[in-house]
């Protein structure tokens, strides 16, 4: 199996079986203590897991539009370049005056096999996006377009979203509890150890349900 296929398989398993708390705990154990986004970015549909590889895009505010501004040029290029399991991570630096994401970008991204979208800006067309089943995590909803207000200037460069550094190729994992960024260098190790922790937690749950004391359970497994 090629490394690309193996990674795709791992992402599918994560999406089906993991959750943010165990991924965050695993990253803590590996020495990565600042990978959880500051609360405030939430899923349009809490039942949709966000799991895929980041494609970072950086927005800047603008205050006009004319024939030379070309507001959408880089945004269109980024979306058209998406591959299976990619997640556009649109960094608006907390600017909620713009909605860099909507229904039509979701449609195109879904067609290309992308895994969702993450932004610290807002989103519009939220009802249609939910009906599509496309996972989108955002700072809120706002019908205001980026036209006259913001432009994607760079993509596939490092960024920071909700207090966490992110680079293209990092793993984005989100559920209704929050969103975690897994650095690309430790994706495989994080996934492997996360599944080990899930197995241990299942054992602990069984022992709790049979009436064992927490102090004894923790002494045996050091999992809580």
Digit-coded pLDDT (tens) for 74-115: 999 999 999 999 999 999 999 999 999 999 999 999 999 999
Q: What is the pLDDT of residue 203?
A: 66
The pLDDT value recorded for residue 51 is: 98
> For the chain, what is the mean pLDDT?
93
Mean pLDDT for 163-169 is: 98
Q: What is the pLDDT of residue 122?
A: 98
Q: Which residues, 6+ apart, have CB-to-CB distance to 180 below 8 Å?
A: 20, 23, 24, 27, 35, 36, 37, 172, 173, 174
pLDDT at residue 214 is higher than 80: no
**Packing angle of the helix pair 3-17, 187-209 (nearest 10 deg):** 30
SS3 153: strand
Specify whether the CB–CB gap between 91 and 58 falls below 8 A: yes
For residue 176, pLDDT over 70 is answered with yes
β-sheet bridge partners, residue 160: 165
Domains by residue range for the chain, with CATH: 34-183 (3.50.30.40)
What pLDDT shows up at residue 202? 67
Q: What is the pLDDT of residue 5?
A: 81
**Please, which pLDDT band fits residue 221 given cuts at 50, 70 and 90?**
low
Whole-model pTM: value is 0.92
């Amino acid at each position: 199996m090629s490394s690309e296929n193996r990674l795709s398989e791992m992402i599918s398993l994560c999406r089906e079986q993991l959750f943010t708390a165990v991924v965050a705990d695993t990253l803590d154990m590996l020495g990565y203590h600042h990978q959880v986004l500051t609360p405030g970015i939430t899923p349009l549909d809490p039942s949709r897991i966000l799991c895929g590889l980041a494609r970072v895009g950086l927005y800047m505010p603008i205050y006009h539009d004319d024939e030379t501004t070309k507001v959408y040029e880089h945004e269109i290029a980024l979306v058209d370049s998406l591959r299976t399991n990619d997640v556009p991570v649109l960094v608006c630096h907390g600017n909620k005056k713009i909605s860099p994401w909507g229904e039509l970008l979701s449609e195109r991204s879904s067609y290309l096999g992308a895994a969702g979208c993450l932004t610290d800006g807002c989103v519009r067309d939220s009802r249609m996006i939910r009906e599509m089943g496309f996972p989108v995590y955002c700072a809120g909803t706002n019908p205001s377009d980026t036209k006259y207000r913001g432009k994607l200037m760079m993509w596939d460069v490092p960024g920071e979203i909700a207090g966490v550094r992110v680079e293209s190729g990092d793993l984005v994992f989100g559920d209704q509890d929050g969103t975690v960024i897994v650095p690309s260098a430790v994706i495989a190790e994080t996934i492997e150890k996360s599944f080990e922790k899930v197995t241990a937690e299942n054992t602990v749950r069984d022992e709790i349900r049979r009436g064992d004391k927490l102090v004894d359970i923790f002494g045996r497994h050091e999992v809580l």
